[in-house]
């Protein structure tokens, strides 16, 4: 679940690698590019004026090709790398400008990192690895052990607590890495391509696992990936990077439907849109008939005005309870009958707004528009078969 409280706010972040960042910074501010700055000064522009806000409880994916600056960006968030310029607010505290002592506290309590190669200590047991961050925080042994076991339970590995990491498969080792980050109760997780080293099938399992955990834990996660499929699958928002810049920030649906430029278009060209787009992105807002409130005459007029063949009926709570077709409604008006309950068809197709289009194709067998409802089951509008086909590019 996300809300709109900023948890991480990055403003005008610049990172220049090398001995002479000031000269390079000046060139950058004068309009220099990564290439021209490198040529003139030998300094590498790692991050080029990036501003990003990640809200509390959000899973934000930073996506881009190798060398685009993803790791640099995420490592600035816990100051494994010191920014050259700019601000990084975690809960409104500018960690770009706190001292090393305070930064250590933040790393131990607020921000945890999960690395691509797991980063497990090979001679420590699984449980000891998970306890590591807690030990650093000076938490006593019994408490550590307890927390470690309960966190291993969360990732489904409690029976492996006393084994060495080498006894575990890659996927399981990465779960240990995840458990270690979760055990500290950090509110922010930084994950730098955590699943890239895993086989494709295991990787998919881990993505599902992460989504499942996130539903329970509501962490604020910055997840790095060079894989657009992974990004679209797990990201609430995705920031696409290129040459140290952020090219576009958007939801998966926004990237697919409104790519900012050819760079983004190239990424998404082979994406199965039906798997990414949801009913909410193409829902048509129509005014339903409210049972025991609206007149049949008014309803018919509305159908005619909007050229609709069907009209949904909602109850007093806003929930769809039936659907009327035009001939039936016409007949009712002629007979001056307001008995909608008897006239409407109560078996109709219905989906949540979050349903992806791929799972809607089979709902059109009755030839009815599908009713879309929000999380509370309230009517949000309709999706016609032609809307689905048009949105995935098949007319």
Ligand X SMILES: Nc1ncnc2c1ncn2[C@@H]1O[C@H](COP(=O)(O)OP(=O)(O)O)[C@@H](O)[C@H]1O
Residues within the interface to ligand X (CB under 6 A): 17, 44, 46, 64, 66-72
Q: If we measure between CA atoms, which residue out of 202, 209, 217, 250 comes closest to residue 61?
A: 250
Helix (H, G, I), strand (E, B) or coil at 141: helix
Q: Is 189 left (phi over 0), alpha (psi -120 to 50) or beta?
A: beta
With CB under 5 to 8 Å by kind, the binding choice for 67 among Mg ion, ligand X, none is ligand X
Q: How far is the CB of 273 from ligand X (least distance, A)?
A: 26
In the bound state with ligand X, the residue whose beta carbon lies nearer, of 70 and 310, is 70
Q: How far is the CB of 100 from ligand X (least distance, A)?
A: 19
Q: How far is the CB of 208 from ligand X (least distance, A)?
A: 24
With CB under 5 to 8 Å by kind, the binding choice for 46 among ligand X, Mg ion, none is ligand X
Q: How far is the CB of 189 from ligand X (least distance, A)?
A: 17
In the bound state with ligand X, the residue whose beta carbon lies nearer, of 23 and 257, is 23
Q: How far is the CB of 233 from ligand X (least distance, A)?
A: 19
What are residue 59's phi and psi, to 5 degrees? -105, 105
With CB under 5 to 8 Å by kind, the binding choice for 291 among ligand X, Mg ion, none is none
One symbol per residue from 55 to 94: x for binding Mg ion (CB under 5 A), - otherwise; what is it? ----------------x-----------------------
Q: If we measure between CA atoms, which residue out of 347, 323, 327 comes closest to residue 335?
A: 327
Q: How far is the CB of 68 from ligand X (least distance, A)?
A: 4
Q: If we measure between CA atoms, which residue out of 212, 194, 215, 211 comes closest to residue 203?
A: 194
With CB under 5 to 8 Å by kind, the binding choice for 69 among ligand X, Mg ion, none is ligand X
Strand-pair partners of 314 = 290, 320
Q: How many CA atoms lie within 13 A of 248 on its CB side?
A: 18
Measure the CA–CA gap between 262 and 178, rounded to whole angstroms: 35
Does residue number 225 form part of the binding site for Mg ion (CB under 5 A)? no
- Cβ(45)–Cβ(37) below 8 Å: yes
Q: How far is the CB of 72 from Mg ion (least distance, A)?
A: 8
In the bound state with Mg ion, the residue whose beta carbon lies nearer, of 71 and 207, is 71
- Cβ(275)–Cβ(358) below 8 Å: yes
In the bound state with ligand X, the residue whose beta carbon lies nearer, of 35 and 339, is 35
In the bound state with ligand X, the residue whose beta carbon lies nearer, of 73 and 344, is 73
With CB under 5 to 8 Å by kind, the binding choice for 369 among Mg ion, ligand X, none is none
Which long-range contacts (C-beta less than 8 Å, at least 24 apart) are formed by 273-276?
A: 273/357, 273/391, 273/392, 273/393, 274/356, 274/357, 274/358, 274/361, 274/388, 274/392, 275/356, 275/357, 275/358, 276/232, 276/252, 276/356
Task: Specify the DSSP class assigned to residue 385.
Answer: H
Sites of contact with Mg ion (CB under 5 A): 71
């Amino acid at each position: 679940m996300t809300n709109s409280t900023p948890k991480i706010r990055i403003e005008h972040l610049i990172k220049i690698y090398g001995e002479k960042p000031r000269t390079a910074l000046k060139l950058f501010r004068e309009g220099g590019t990564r290439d021209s700055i490198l040529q003139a000064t030998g300094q590498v522009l790692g991050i080029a004026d990036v501003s990003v806000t990640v809200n509390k409880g959000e899973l934000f994916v930073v996506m881009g090709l190798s060398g685009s600056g993803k790791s640099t960006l995420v490592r600035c968030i816990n100051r494994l790398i010191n920014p050259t310029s700019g601000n990084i607010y975690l809960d409104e505290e500018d960690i770009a400008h706190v001292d090393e002592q305070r930064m250590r506290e933040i790393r131990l309590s607020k921000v945890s990192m999960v690395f691509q190669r797991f980063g497990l200590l090979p001679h420590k047991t699984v449980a000891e690895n998970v306890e590591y961050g807690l030990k650093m925080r000076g938490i006593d042994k019994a408490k550590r052990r307890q927390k470690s076991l309960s966190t291993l339970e969360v990732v489904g590995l409690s029976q492996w607590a006393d084994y060495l990491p080498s006894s575990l498969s890659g996927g399981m080792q990465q779960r240990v890495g995840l458990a270690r980050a979760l055990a500290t109760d950090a509110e922010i997780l930084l994950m730098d391509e955590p699943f890239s080293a895993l086989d494709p099938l295991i990787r998919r399992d881990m993505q599902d696992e992460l989504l499942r955990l996130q539903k329970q834990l509501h962490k604020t996660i910055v997840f790095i990936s060079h894989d657009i499929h992974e990004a679209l699958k797990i990201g609430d928002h995705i920031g696409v990077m290129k040459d140290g810049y952020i090219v576009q920030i958007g939801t998966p649906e926004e990237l697919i439907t409104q790519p900012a430029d050819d760079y983004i278009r190239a990424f998404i060209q082979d994406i199965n849109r039906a798997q990414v787009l949801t009913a909410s992105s193409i829902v048509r807002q129509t005014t339903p008939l409210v049972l025991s409130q609206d007149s049949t005459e008014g309803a018919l007029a509305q159908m005619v005005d909007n050229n609709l063949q069907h009209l949904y009926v909602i109850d007093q709570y806003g929930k769809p309870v039936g659907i009327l077709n035009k001939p039936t409604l016409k007949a009712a008006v002629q007979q001056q009958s307001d008995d909608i309950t008897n006239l409407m068809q109560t078996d109709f197709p219905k989906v949540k707004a979050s349903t992806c289009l791929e799972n809607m194709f089979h709902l059109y067998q009755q030839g009815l528009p599908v009713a879309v409802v929000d999380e509370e089951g309230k009517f949000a509008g309709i999706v016609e078969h032609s809307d689905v086909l048009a949105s995935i590019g098949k007319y």
